[in-house]
């Protein structure tokens, strides 16, 4: 029997203007995971960039929506429909300023928590039962939240963020191996 594939989504905004901004941390994590497994994310499909390959014994599609954050659900649902991928085989990685920098949280369901990309996905899917990995970027300074999330990541914070991105990649690998509970126990209590 053929195994079904996974769809791994990195939320962010397209274009050079948004490179290395806090709001693109999910996108950065998926790019890191793809590089780790020698998968190129370069095909333009489903209003985003896609790459396909294997992570261990599991077939995966990586998706970086190019719809801007507020319309991420359009790209995700198109990719899901094409691959006939069910929600429980979609993993979404995204930034969370309510979570301290350097921390990640793995969940199998839940709301958007004020994140516009997740709001869009939840609105399109009409289902909140899919794995997600939140990557902490907080706490935000006392400036406007939008200015913060669209601001460049300072070099001084990059090492801490990179460690969290590597943890997020490890968590995704565990989830697709059927070990989501292990991922939650390992990373939700870390730090």
List pLDDT tens digits, range 10-29: 999 999 999 999 999 999 99
Structural domains of the chain ordered from first start: 6-187 (3.40.50.1470)
Query: What is the model's pLDDT at position 153?
Result: 96
Query: What is the model's pLDDT at position 140?
Result: 81
The CA distance from 161 to 2, in Å, is 37
Given 23, 37, 103, 124, the catalytic residue: 23
With a threshold of 0.75, does the pTM exceed it? yes
User: Which residues make Cβ contacts (< 8 Å) with residue 50, sequence separation at least 6?
Assistant: 41, 43, 44, 61, 62, 63, 64, 79
Q: Would you call 23 a catalytic residue per the annotation?
A: yes
Query: What is the model's pLDDT at position 3?
Result: 55
Query: What is the model's pLDDT at position 191?
Result: 55
Query: What is the model's pLDDT at position 141?
Result: 81
End-to-end CA distance of the chain: 41
The pair of three-digit structure tokens given for residue 126, joined into one six-digit string: 């009409």
Query: What is the model's pLDDT at position 1?
Result: 38
Strands (E), the chain: 6-10, 43-45, 48-55, 58-65, 90-100, 104-107, 132-138
Low-confidence ranges of the chain (pLDDT < 70): 1-3, 191
pLDDT tens digits along 63-81: 999 999 999 999 999 999 9
User: Which residues make Cβ contacts (< 8 Å) with residue 70, sequence separation at least 6?
Assistant: 116, 117, 119, 120
Query: Cis bond leading into 162, ω under 30°?
Result: no
Buried b / exposed e across 113-131, counting CB within 10 Å, b at 16+? Answer: eebbbbbbbbebbeebebb
């Amino acid at each position: 029997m053929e195994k079904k594939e996974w769809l791994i989504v990195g939320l962010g905004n397209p274009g050079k203007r948004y490179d290395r901004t806090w709001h693109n941390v999910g996108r950065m994590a998926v790019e890191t995971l793809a590089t780790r497994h020698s998968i190129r994310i370069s095909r333009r499909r489903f209003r985003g960039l896609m790459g396909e390959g294997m992570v261990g014994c599991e077939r995966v599609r990586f998706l970086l929506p190019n719809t801007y954050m507020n319309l991420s659900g359009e790209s995700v649902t198109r990719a899901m429909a094409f691959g006939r991928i069910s929600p429980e085989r979609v993993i979404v990685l995204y930034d969370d300023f309510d979570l301290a920098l350097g921390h990640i949280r793995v969940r199998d369901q839940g709301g958007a928590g004020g994140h516009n990309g997740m709001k869009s996905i939840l609105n399109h899917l009409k289902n909140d039962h899919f794995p997600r990995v939140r990557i902490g970027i907080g706490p935000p300074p006392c400036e406007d939240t939008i200015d913060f999330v669209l601001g460049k990541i300072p070099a001084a914070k990059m090492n801490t963020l990179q460690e969290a991105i590597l943890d997020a990649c490890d968590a995704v690998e565990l989830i697709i191996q059927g070990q989501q509970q292990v991922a939650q126990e390992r990373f939700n209590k870390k730090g």
